Amino acid sequence: MMLPWFQWLESSGIGNAIRLSPWAFAVIESVHLLGLAVIGGAVLLVCMRQLGVGLQRQPIAEVARETYPWLVISWVIMMVTGSALFLSEAVKCYYSTPFWVKMTSLLLATIFTFAVQQRVARADETRVGPMWQRVVALVSLVLWFGVGAGGRWIGFSG
Amino acid sequence: MSLLWFAKWLAETQWSIDLHESLYMYPLVESVHVLTLCLFVGMSVMLDLRLLGLTLKRVPVSEVTRRLLPWMTVGFIIMVITGAALFYAIPVRSYQSIWFRVKMVMLALAGVNAWIFHSGIHKRVVDWDLDAVPPRAARVAGVCSLMLWALIVVSGRMIAYNWFDCDKQPQPHWVNVAAGCEVPPQ
């Protein structure tokens, strides 16, 4: 049902241009990887702090607030470069299970991080117990791991 | 005995062949290598950004280094082990890859940069621990680290491409020299 749509995306101007270039995919992929390092760092610092390790002497709210701009910047870089990579091989992605795992995880991880994790992390620490901070951190880690592992595995499939 | 000879010898060992031909082990090792990027390079980036005064400005620099270094060390060890395994699976082609060579040089430079930082300006960290924007020497170390690790990540990714492989001749002369290709004289 969605296949014609994916075929149309792949034949779009951007998709074609990337596919026809010998180096465009490699360059965009590299920027995607650099974004991965930054978003990984931003997510990990908050999750680890919620788990009671890493910057454990700082308030959770401060770690969340201070890393937030980098989370947003790297998320945008990931979306832009990821979309470009997707456009160049949309049909391959359509048939790739890891791609769908990644997209599902990405949707959930994004909603959870921005709507739940950030709020819980910035909430009054007397109001939200350490147990909940830990649960939130673990859910976030699992979801983002799904995004990363799914993403890496798109390249191995097909 | 040359390094190329050593790479060829490695390639003949059974474990290298097994890893190269494995259906899941090689992709698995590579996935661990890539995802550990988040732990090692991710934390390194955050530390560098602190040195530039771009995040965690109210957290003492010594606190950031003390709390993150153990995790970065764990990440680095995983990176080296998985990276060595990836090299071991494809030794000759990796050894003759200009990207791999660039990556190794940059890794050495990143090591030098870290050593200069830790044995230099970081020794006097008590004097500037709470500065929102650390002194120039620390900022320079941060920028160098960010650039070197970016180059390491990018050149590492490029090893996968065969544009400059020795078996793809003709290559420009400088590529053959830089990659150490054994090209029969024309």
Q: Which residue of A has its CA nearest to B149?
A: A34
User: How far is it, in rounded angstroms, from Cα A137 to Cα A131?
Assistant: 10
The pair of structure tokens assigned to B58 is 């109210």
Is pLDDT above 70 for B49? yes
Give me A70's structure tokens: 């980098």
Q: Which of A39, A41, A55 sits opposite B59 (nearest CB)?
A: A55
Q: Using CA of residue A58, residue A60, residue A65, residue A67, what is the dihedral sign?
A: positive
Neighbours of B30 (CB within 10 A): 19
Contact with chain B for residue A145, Cβ under 8 A: yes
This prediction has a pTM of: 0.95
Examine residue A157 and state whether it is found in any structural domain, yes or no. no
Segments forming the whole domain that contains residue A25? 3-152
ipTM confidence: 0.94
Residues of A in Cβ contact (< 8 Å) with B46: 41-42, 45, 67, 70
pLDDT in tens, B104-132: 999 999 999 999 999 999 999 999 999 99
Please state the domain count of chain A.
1
CA distance B39 to B35: 8
C-beta atoms of B38 and A30 within 8 A: no
Q: How far is CA A34 from CA B80, B152, B154, B156, in A?
A: 19, 10, 8, 11
Q: Which two tokens stand for residue B10?
A: 């490695």
CA–CA dist A67, B55 (Å, integer): 6
- pLDDT greater at residue A123 or residue B186: A123
Kindly tell me if the per-residue pLDDT of B1 is higher than 80. no
Of B84, B86, B101, B111, residue with least CA distance to B155: B101
Q: Is the dihedral of CA B170, B174, B175, B177 positive or negative?
A: positive
Q: Which of A26, A33, A44 comes nearest B153 by C-beta?
A: A33
Residues of chain A where predicted confidence (pLDDT) is lower than 70: 158
Residues in chain B: 186
Which of B51, B56, B58 to probe by mutation at the A interface, max A CB count within 10 Å? Answer: B56
Total CB pairs under 8 A between chain A and B: 99
CA distance A137 to A121: 9
CB-based contact A55 B63, cutoff 8 Å: yes
CA separation for the pair B8, B95 (Å, rounded): 10
DSSP, collapsed to helix, strand or coil, labels residue A70 as helix
Residue B59 to residue A148, Cβ atoms within 8 A: no
